[in-house]
Amino acid sequence: MNRDFNLERLVRPNVLKMKPYSSARDEYKTDGRKMTFLDANENPFDNGVNRYPDPQQGKVKEVLASQKGLSTAQILLGNGSDEVLDLIFRGFCRPQIDNVITLPPTYGMYKVLAGLNEVEDREVVLKQDFQPDVDSILQKVDDQTKIIFLCSPNNPTGNSFSETSVERILKNFNGLVVIDEAYIDFSAERSWLERLQEFPNLVITQTLSKAYGQAGIRLGSCYASEEIIKILNKIKPPYNVNELTQKKAMARLENPGVVEKEVELILQEREKLRTHLSKMTFVKEIFPSDANFLLVRVDDANKKYEELLRAGVVVRNRSSQELCENTLRFTVGTPEENNQLLEILKQL
Ligand SMILES: *Cc1c(COP(=O)(O)O)cnc(C)c1O
């Protein structure tokens, strides 16, 4: 347990003090009766979206709460994880004063959001095996360090961080530890959600953009203690998740079988790609993956990237990132797309 964790000291003082905007639909509590809504200056003629959406996304949260084994008060939803991550920055980091720690090579948005919010980003490069360098991370912490971002499974390396490393960070740091689990549904490792109650400083983010196949609707989720969620709720835009998104998300979440089947096929295809790629002479190394992509070291990544583009296939060139010289990141596509990729690569 993290004895020194003190949420009131961690939150930005202005956020602690402020009163949130109270929307028309926040003030009205339903008792199930059919009501006439003359409170929010909406156009009264029904077209499916003429009313403001539920600001608390009650239905979506109920499904998520039951699937994840949490209470709805432990969930915050946002316009993609990107909004959720931004809210975490704004709730806890004072511009020009506080700092966060990130572990490159990793997801680019932590750095962008740190820059946007004028928060110092202290980078601690992963070890050669792509695991966190826990001693160096803890050495970088000072009184102004508010958040450590851990992306597990990590993008672009694909691996999960070891449970012992993450646990050491959680136990020895009294700021927030945000674990970005965008790829958790592809992983053989268990989600940190199972241990949420153990750590008052643990914040987990997930998304419907990857395994759930809904990148277009923009729905990200954040799971943490009720106290942390209360703070983020206070600063979120009142109607940050639109009606169409809430409806589409419900339809998908209520059919977990479909998602499971697709994930299974993607994982099969990932291993098919690995097998075939490993036989190609220009492939130097294929890194282990707990996600729906493979990071592959090749002989000349820039050249291979350009050649693939010319053949009509777009992959991600990650060569400019630390520890990722000459690497390409291949997202697993449909069986047909993967065959196309392999055919083209064979002919290069
Ligand atoms: C793709 C991805 C996300 C998803 O962000 P959304 O805004 O929810 O689409 C979050 N974190 C990581 C590490 C990702 O790779």
Judge whether 203 and 228 are in contact, CB under 8 Å: yes
Give the pocket of ligand 1 (CB within 6 Å): 80-82, 107, 151, 155, 180, 182, 207, 209-210, 215, 220
Average pLDDT over residues 286-307: 98
Query: Distance from the CA of 172 to the center of ligand 1, in angstroms?
Result: 27
Task: For residue range 310-326, list pLDDT tens digits in order.
Answer: 999 999 999 999 999 99
What structural domains and CATH numbers belong to the chain? 7-254 (3.40.640.10), 257-347 (3.90.1150.10)
Closest atom, ligand 1, to C-alpha of 209: 9
Query: Distance from the CA of 90 to the center of ligand 1, in angstroms?
Result: 18
Closest atom, ligand 1, to C-alpha of 106: 13
CA-nearest residue for atom 11, ligand 1, is 182
Instruction: Walk across the sheet containing 327-331 and list its strands.
Output: 283-286, 293-298, 327-331, 316-317
Helix/strand/coil for 104 = coil
CA-nearest residue for atom 3, ligand 1, is 182
- Distance CA(21)–CA(26), nearest Å, equals 9
Cβ count within 10 A of residue 63: 16
| Residue of 109, 111, 159 to test ligand 1 pocket, by largest number of atoms within 8 Å of CB | 109
CA 75 to chain centre: 14
pLDDT at 285 over 60: yes
Closest atom, ligand 1, to C-alpha of 154: 13
Between residues 187 and 31, the one the model is more confident about: 187
Cβ count within 10 A of residue 120: 15
Query: Distance from the CA of 202 to the center of ligand 1, in angstroms?
Result: 18
Query: Distance from the CA of 40 to the center of ligand 1, in angstroms?
Result: 33
| Residue of 81, 106, 187 to test ligand 1 pocket, by largest number of atoms within 8 Å of CB | 81
Dihedral sign for Cα 141, 119, 109, 60, please: positive
Judge whether 214 and 247 are in contact, CB under 8 Å: no
Query: Distance from the CA of 107 to the center of ligand 1, in angstroms?
Result: 8
CA-nearest residue for atom 15, ligand 1, is 155
Query: Distance from the CA of 82 to the center of ligand 1, in angstroms?
Result: 7
CA 106 to chain centre: 12
Judge whether 160 and 194 are in contact, CB under 8 Å: no
The predicted structure's pLDDT at residue 2: 56
Task: For residue range 235-272, list pLDDT tens digits in order.
Answer: 999 999 999 999 999 999 999 999 999 999 999 999 99
Task: For residue range 43-74, list pLDDT tens digits in order.
Answer: 999 999 999 999 999 999 999 999 999 999 99
Average pLDDT over residues 150-159: 98
Q: pLDDT averaged over the chain?
A: 96
Task: For residue range 96-123, list pLDDT tens digits in order.
Answer: 999 999 999 999 999 999 999 999 999 9
- Distance CA(318)–CA(329), nearest Å, equals 7
Residue 231 confidence class, pLDDT cut points 50, 70, 90:
very high
Cβ count within 10 A of residue 234: 16
Task: Give the length of the chain.
Answer: 348
- Tokens 């609707």 -> residue: 217
Please give the sequence-ordered ranges of beta strands (E in DSSP) within 70-227, or none if there are none: 75-78, 99-102, 120-123, 145-151, 176-180, 202-207, 220-223
Element (H, E) at 317: strand 316-317
Query: Distance from the CA of 42 to the center of ligand 1, in angstroms?
Result: 33
The predicted structure's pLDDT at residue 130: 98
Query: Distance from the CA of 21 to the center of ligand 1, in angstroms?
Result: 28
- Distance CA(37)–CA(33), nearest Å, equals 12
Helix/strand/coil for 285 = strand
The predicted structure's pLDDT at residue 139: 98
pLDDT at 1 over 60: no
pLDDT at 3 over 70: no
Judge whether 77 and 245 are in contact, CB under 8 Å: no
Task: For residue range 6-51, list pLDDT tens digits in order.
Answer: 999 999 999 999 998 888 777 777 788 889 999 999 999 999 999 9
